[in-house]
Amino acid sequence: MPHSLKTLIASMSVSLLLITGMAQAQDKDTVEIKIPENSVLSDGVIDKKEMARYLVVANKQLAYLAEQATEEYQGRIESGGLPMPSGWMLMKDGITVKELKLDQSAKDAPPQIRVVMFRAALKSIARRGQINAAAILYAGQMSDDNPQKVLVLEHEHRLGISGSKFVPYQDKGGKVQYSQSVTKEKPFQMFYDDKADAPEISG
């Protein structure tokens, strides 16, 4: 694996850990986590220690999904130009990563529309409880006024993690070099309709 990709993956892993808000400063074991009735997880109540373990696993799974998807997508960036968006899924076994393919109706769709189509397709799969995590990767310019290229990774996990990572990059002679990334929380779009529907530590 190229050094620049290793650096990117390490950065993603750290950022994912930072955005989960695991409330580790609390020591009481009696805090409960209520799972909403319409959740894709399960019914009932999970204690704080158990949920903390789940969140550690969720972060590892998101980092693993990001690594697999980004390694594949980087090859498309190195082929020249701005590649079309792609969608990725981590299956329920926590190991198998699959790329989601759009049907023929998306053949001539512009990148922005493809992103929307990937969100809708991944939402349909996620709501049926068939996957643990989902990601959409796409590349573009920072803005019309700023030609800086950026790799964007939208990711969600069924345990209530949702964020977007923005990674500036340069393509130098077919080799991609990444700069410092920025991760921000984003609204839930695949596993849940709203943050209030996601698993949450309470008490």
How far apart CA 203 and CA 200 sit, in angstroms, is 10
- pLDDT tens sequence across 146-156: 888 999 999 99
What percentage of the chain reaches a pLDDT higher than 90?
A: 37
The mean pLDDT of 79-93, rounded to a whole number, is: 88
pLDDT of residue 144: 82
How many other CB atoms are found less than 10 A from the CB of residue 193?
Answer: 14
3-class DSSP assignment, residue 131: strand
Q: Which of 3-12, 94-103, 135-144, 168-177 has the lowest mean pLDDT?
A: 3-12
Domain ranges for the chain? 3-202
Residue 35's pLDDT band (boundaries 50, 70, 90)?
A: very low
Instruction: For 18-30, write each residue's pLDDT tens digit.
Output: 333 333 333 334 3
Mean pLDDT rounded to a whole number for the chain: 77
Element spanning 56, H or E = helix 48-78
Extract long-range pairs of 167-174: CB within 8 Å, 24+ residues apart. 167/8, 167/11, 168/142, 169/77, 169/139, 171/77, 171/78, 171/80, 174/78, 174/80
- The yes-or-no verdict on residue 122 having pLDDT over 90 is yes
pLDDT above 50: residue 102: yes
Token pair listed for 137: 């990767």
* Residue that wins the pLDDT comparison between 31 and 143: 143
| Range 34-39 average pLDDT | 49
**pLDDT classification of 116: cutoffs 50, 70, 90:** very high
Cα gap 101→99, rounded to integer Å: 6
Q: Report the pLDDT value the prediction gives residue 67, as an integer from 0 to 100.
A: 92
Strands 131-141 and 175-178 come out as unpaired
Span 109-136, average pLDDT: 93
State yes or no: pLDDT of 138 exceeds 60. Answer: yes
pLDDT at 17: 36
**46 confidence band (pLDDT: 50, 70, 90):** low
